[in-house]
Amino acid sequence: MSITVYTENWEGKFRKSTFEAVCYAKKIADISNKEVKAISIGEIDENELKKLSNFGANTIVSYPKIKKNNEKGVATIIKNESENSNLIIFSNTFNAKSIAPRVSVKLNAGLITNVISEINDLENISVKRQSFSSKAIESIRLKSNCGVITISPNAFNVTENVVSFNIEVKANELDSNISITGKDVNKGKISLSEAEVVVSAGRGLKGPENWNMIEELADCLGAATACSKPVSDIGWRPHSEHVGQTGKAIAPNLYIAIGISGAIQHLAGVNSSKIMVAINTDPEAPFFKAADYGIVGDAFNVVPKLIDELKKINNN
């Protein structure tokens, strides 16, 4: 018996969220005396596949000829590979969220998304998940024999756990019911959902031309950039950066909010951040009630100083 984990890659490279999912599966496998079986989809080289075994994957099955955006096909593969499994783990990426519901139907398995707690008993699965846009945590129990779980990013540690492994490469091909006609990816940008540090700015920045300092600050910190809803509505920044109740929900280790008032809808999507810093001219800004650190001051004055300070330590 095994725990199945979908190990997504991006142009042949795994990301932190992939390893989080493998580690999550390994923990359950250990308490229930099972193995971890990883399913990889798309072209990838063997050295990259091997990395999965550093986190506990015993069996690694690779389907290089299937594309991950053929989600219907991927779901079929995962179902077929899960004959000896009653638990399938995914991370919470866009791709995983398009596959996991399909797998749950195929296996008649309950689906639990946004999971933030570990599983302690494989016979009686109950976990905690984020709900109400991070305004609440829901405990939920699986009623079916088989379960499909997607885990929240940055909720679990990635710890090394080197195991012996074998890699099987399968040459299956499968038709897709959608065709991809184009793709536009910001190369080199840090993924907002997975970022450990996020620098975010709001309407207090006055105009899109002032984002240079925000990007520079993000560069100093190896951070992703985000923004409040009105900023993306007026087109100062792309929609993909909008965080909050109606945008992305994120949970970085550090969230720096610059010129953002801290409206309830904004906080809903960022409240799960471990540490929040607010920089705002208005000492009454609601963000100061939610933040761990606050600076009352003008962003145009504070941000350059912060960049200087960080450059000093980066240079040491």
Site for ligand FAD in 193-252 (CB under 6 A): 202-204, 228-231, 244-247
Rule CB under 8 A: which of 55-94 touch other proteins? 69, 71-72, 75, 93-94
Long-range contacts of 76-83 (CB under 8 A, 24+ apart): 76/106, 76/174, 77/39, 77/41, 77/172, 77/174, 78/4, 78/6, 78/39, 78/103, 79/103, 79/106, 79/107, 81/4, 81/37, 81/39, 82/4, 82/107, 82/146
Among 123, 160, 184, 284, binds other proteins (CB under 8 A): 184
Complex with other proteins: residue 56 or 147, whichever CB lies closer: 147
Complex with other proteins: residue 45 or 309, whichever CB lies closer: 309
Does residue 285 belong to the site contacting other proteins (CB under 8 A)?
no
Q: Which does 112 bind (CB under 5 to 8 A by kind): other proteins, ligand FAD, none?
A: other proteins
The single residue listed with the structure tokens 């499968």 is: 174
Pair 260, 231: CB distance under 8 Å:
no
Complex with other proteins: residue 189 or 206, whichever CB lies closer: 189
Give the separation between CA 13 and CA 125, rounded to whole angstroms.
31
Q: Which stretch binds other proteins (CB under 8 A): 32-40, 52-60, 181-189, 209-217?
A: 181-189
Q: Mask 290-309, x = binds ligand FAD (CB under 6 A)?
A: --------xxx---------
Q: Which helix (H) or strand (E) holds 217?
A: helix 212-221
Does residue 237 belong to the site contacting other proteins (CB under 8 A)?
no
Contacting residues toward ligand FAD, per CB under 6 A = 202-204, 228-231, 244-247, 259-261, 263, 265-266, 269, 279-282, 285, 298-300
